[in-house]
């Protein structure tokens, strides 16, 4: 049987060994990320749909993708970009069917109140169907609005060049995205000729990745818009100049032949 003195010595020895063991054991470090974090951060600076698609390819965890998607949705809702939120949810599959429908209903109501009636018609057909009261209301209002626009355009025909009468953006073949966006704003806001529905035509005729990239030039990549040539962008993705003019409200200036 150990004496009290021996028991005290044994206890102190155990404490010292415990301290040594503790000091000798390396601290636990967090498990390194299993994907390229730098690449993911760079992707997040571009179009959201494109970032999520590429994020999946490089192994970004689903919870991180979901968190990013929700941040995008929250930001766009704050900016009242309800149509974009609906398309984003629908095309990428963010949330339940109820979430997608709720986003569509919110977009429809906003477009109707803001008198963006062609967008309201498109959303109503998607969400409610052509037999719905919502669709008929938006369609009827849009027809009336279109008539007003046509009447207004006729009054200005004498002041507009032949190519501009169709309400198209006229660009040079070397135009950048900044040139395009400025031209759209000029026609719609400064000249007041009506809506070009440029964004709608993008969604209707091009993949969501291309649309997201183009839309990002107006905000998060505004500086890049000034250095990115419009036609170079589309040619790299397999579209010709005639394709662009066919799908979008854009016409290109005729090149003048150089005199020999």
Q: How many CB atoms lie within 10 A of CB 159?
A: 8
In this prediction, residue 31 has a pLDDT band, given cuts at 50, 70 and 90, of: very low
Instruction: Spell out the residues 6+ positions from residue 148 whose beta carbon is closer than 8 angstroms to its own.
Output: none
Q: Are 89 and 73 in contact (CB under 8 A)?
A: yes
For residue 250, pLDDT over 50 is answered with yes
Rounded Cα gap, residues 164 and 69, in angstroms: 39
Residue in 131, 129, 81, 72 with CA at minimum distance from that of residue 107 = 81
In this prediction, residue 16 has a pLDDT band, given cuts at 50, 70 and 90, of: low
Rounded Cα gap, residues 166 and 249, in angstroms: 9
**Averaged pLDDT for residues 208-227:** 82
In this prediction, residue 199 has a pLDDT band, given cuts at 50, 70 and 90, of: confident
Q: In this structure, what are the phi and psi dihedrals at residue 25, rounded to the nearest 5 degrees? A: -90, 125
The residue written with tokens 């498109």 in the block is 122
In this prediction, residue 22 has a pLDDT band, given cuts at 50, 70 and 90, of: very low
For residue 204, pLDDT over 50 is answered with yes
Of the ranges 115-124, 175-184, 195-204, 249-258, the best mean pLDDT one: 115-124
pTM above 0.75, yes or no: no
**Averaged pLDDT for residues 128-142:** 94
Q: What pLDDT, in 10s, does the model give residues 163-187? A: 444 567 788 888 888 888 888 888 7
pLDDT score of 225:
85
**Averaged pLDDT for residues 107-132:** 93
Q: Is 250 helix (H, G, I), strand (E, B) or coil?
A: strand
Q: DSSP string of 35-64?
A: S-HHHHHHHTTS-HHHHHHHHHHTT--HHH
pLDDT score of 241:
87
What percent of the chain lies above the pLDDT cut of 90? 27
For residue 124, pLDDT over 90 is answered with yes
Which residues on neighbouring strands pair with residue 170, listed in sequence order? 251
Helix or strand (DSSP H, E) at 194 = none
Mean residue pLDDT across the chain: 80
**C-alpha torsion sign, points 61, 64, 70, 76:** negative
Q: DSSP string of 104-121?
A: HHHHHHHHHHTT-HHHHH
Q: In this structure, what are the phi and psi dihedrals at residue 237, rounded to the nearest 5 degrees? A: -105, 15
Q: Is 170 helix (H, G, I), strand (E, B) or coil?
A: strand
């Amino acid at each position: 049987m150990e004496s009290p003195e021996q028991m005290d010595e044994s206890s102190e020895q155990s404490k010292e060994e415990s301290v040594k063991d503790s000091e000798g054991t390396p601290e636990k470090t967090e498990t390194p990320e299993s994907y390229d974090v730098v690449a993911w951060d760079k992707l997040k600076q571009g179009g959201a749909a494109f970032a999520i698609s590429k994020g999946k390819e490089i192994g970004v965890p689903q919870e991180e993708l979901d968190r990013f998607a929700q941040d995008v949705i929250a930001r766009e809702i704050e900016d009242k970009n309800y149509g974009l939120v609906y398309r984003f949810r629908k095309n990428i599959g963010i949330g339940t069917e109820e979430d997608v429908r709720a986003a569509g209903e919110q977009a429809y109501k906003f477009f109707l109140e803001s008198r963006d009636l062609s967008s309201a018609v498109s959303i109503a057909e998607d969400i409610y169907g052509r037999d719905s009261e919502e669709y008929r209301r938006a369609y009827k209002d849009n027809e009336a609005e279109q008539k007003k626009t046509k009447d207004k355009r006729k009054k200005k025909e004498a002041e507009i060049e032949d190519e501009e009468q169709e309400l198209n953006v006229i660009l040079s073949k070397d135009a950048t995205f900044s040139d395009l966006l400025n031209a759209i704003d000029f026609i719609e806001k400064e000249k007041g000729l009506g809506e070009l529905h440029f964004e709608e035509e993008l969604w209707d005729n091009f993949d969501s990745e291309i649309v997201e990239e183009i839309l990002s030039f107006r905000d998060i990549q505004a500086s890049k818009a000034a250095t990115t040539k419009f036609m170079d962008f589309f040619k790299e993705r397999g579209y010709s100049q005639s394709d662009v003019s066919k799908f979008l409200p854009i016409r290109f200036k005729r090149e003048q032949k150089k005199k020999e």
